[in-house]
Amino acid sequence: MTSTLVAPHPHGAASAFIEKRPLERYVAPAKPSVVGLSRAALAEALGGVGVPERQQRMRVQQIWQWLYVRGVQSFDEMTTLPKDLRAILAGHFTLARPEIMAEQISVDGTRKWLLRLLGETSNRPHEVECVYIPDTDRGTLCISSQVGCTLNCTFCHTGTQRLVRNLTAGEIVGQVVLARDRLSDWTAVERPDGEGGKRLVSNIVLMGMGEPLYNFDAVRDALNVVADGDGLSISKRRITLSTSGVVPNIARAGSEIGVMLAVSLHAVTDEVRNELVPLNRKYPLRELLDACRNYPGLSNARRITFEYVMLKGVNDSLADARALVRLIKGIPAKINLIPFNPWPGSNYECSDWEQIEKFSEIVFNAGYASPVRTPRGRDILAACGQLKSATEKLSARERLALRAMAMTD
Ligand code: SAH
Ligand code: SF4
């Protein structure tokens, strides 16, 4: 990291290391996309092109259905709207989603997309990752909330990326819409477990690039669109927001968004956590755990997930496991042990499998579910921040072919 990337900070270099400054501004495309607008923003947009106020509610409802239940890709297909309105809308707006720049499909069915966001004028592309992980009882989409991340967790590749900007609500919703397009997931399907009527994308986790609680308003607005029961209809119980510990926004996440919370704990002492998650110097463990204890809506049915990345010789001793159990005592919780996913240039190793099992057993015996997150899509490096650097970018021709395929699928 060069000094120009670090925000000048009154308390000196140690504090500056905690956060980079978001460098890039969002520049809207000349013709904006309506995908991802809230109902209120959509009504306002309609007002702007002459739809009278008394019609706006009905029109929003109609467009909402086309966008989020049917997944149409052109205004022309919105046949419940008058033809002239369709033409007006097409003159002012698009239904564009982020563009797929690269796609990888793992032998285990995990799919990973590198997405370019729309409307950038700078010559540096604004790209994020999105991963779809199919399972027998669910399909989880892992989405991004920022291009890069202003935080610098030492084991995370996203933290090393220089370019940072917040995604708009539309760009966050756009990832869900795009996944449904690409998976042909706009109509209910039969699932391998014999249950019909479910969509492939049934769960969302905000565990891609970025710190969602540093992009609070856009994340809140986007998740309200995603959870809307007349549209994409993915209930808030099936949406998990993962934070590195932005304490002041944790209570807001519970009361204003109401989704499930995951906290990237990763260490049981401030000393180790300061090193792994430098934000800990601003919001130390005690404050973080207090915020968790007071998370609005917390109950045995709505537990907090504590994420714990297993780093050999750093945080994986059995004494650490026992300290972990003591630390979270009294908080309805699950503990998700994540095998460290190495990336080129990373300074850590993943704990040995045997050690992970012993660690997990201590946590389990203390009464906590402690699933070890099965590495999925290892063959396509489907972990945080890895596609961008590891994938050969597609040529313009290949991209066109991919887009054509997406439209005809
Ligand atoms: N910024 C948020 C959400 C995105 S990261 C957060 O930090 O919680 C999602 C999860 O992936 C976090 O728990 C993060 O610590 C973890 N993670 C990041 N890099 C990883 C790596 N190389 N191997 C395993 N887990 C990683
Ligand atoms: Fe950012 Fe999360 Fe990576 Fe830390 S782990 S750098 S907060 S994306």
Q: How do residues 17-64 score in pLDDT, each as one tens digit? A: 788 876 677 888 889 999 999 999 999 999 999 999 999 999 999 999
Ligand closest to 338 (CA) is 1
Question: Is any atom of ligand 1 closer than 6 Å to the C-beta of 150?
Answer: no
Look at the pTM and tell me if it is higher than 0.85: yes
Question: Is any atom of ligand 1 closer than 6 Å to the C-beta of 340?
Answer: yes
pLDDT score, position 383: 57
Residues paired with 157 in a beta bridge: none
Rounded CA separation 39/34 (Å): 10
Ligand 2 binding pocket mutation candidate from 149, 279, 338 (most atoms within 8 A of CB): 149
Q: How far is the CA of 84 from the centre of ligand 1 (A)?
A: 48
Tokens of 407: 């439209």
Q: How far is the CA of 42 from the centre of ligand 2 (A)?
A: 32
Ramachandran assignment for 34, one of left (phi > 0), alpha (psi -120 to 50 degrees), beta (any other): alpha
Question: Is any atom of ligand 1 closer than 6 Å to the C-beta of 145?
Answer: no
Catalytic residues: 129, 384
Question: CB within 8 A of 361, min separation 6: which ones?
Answer: none
C-alpha distances out from residue 154 to 161, 248, 364, 394, Å: 12, 23, 28, 30
Q: How far is the CA of 228 from the centre of ligand 1 (A)?
A: 27
Rounded CA separation 56/290 (Å): 44
Residue 254: closest CA among 208, 305, 220:
220
Asked whether the beta carbons of 283 and 246 are under 8 A apart, the reply is yes
pLDDT score, position 190: 55
pLDDT score, position 409: 34
C-alpha distances out from residue 22 to 138, 150, 244, Å: 35, 6, 17
Helices 216-227 and 169-182 cross at an angle (nearest 10°) of 40
Pick out the chain residues at pLDDT < 70: 1-16, 22-23, 119-123, 188-197, 375, 377-409
pLDDT score, position 24: 73
pLDDT score, position 81: 97
Residues paired with 302 in a beta bridge: 299
Rounded CA separation 100/142 (Å): 15
Asked whether the beta carbons of 385 and 343 are under 8 A apart, the reply is yes
332 C-beta neighbours (distance < 10 Å), count: 16
pLDDT score, position 8: 37
Q: How far apart are the first and last CA of the chain?
A: 43
Atom of ligand 1 nearest to the CA of 346: 22
Rounded CA separation 204/207 (Å): 9
Which alpha helices (DSSP H) does 309-350 contain, by range?
318-327
Q: How far is the CA of 77 from the centre of ligand 1 (A)?
A: 40
354 C-beta neighbours (distance < 10 Å), count: 8
Cα dihedral 316, 317, 323, 329 sign = positive
Ligand 1 binding pocket mutation candidate from 19, 158, 307 (most atoms within 8 A of CB): 307
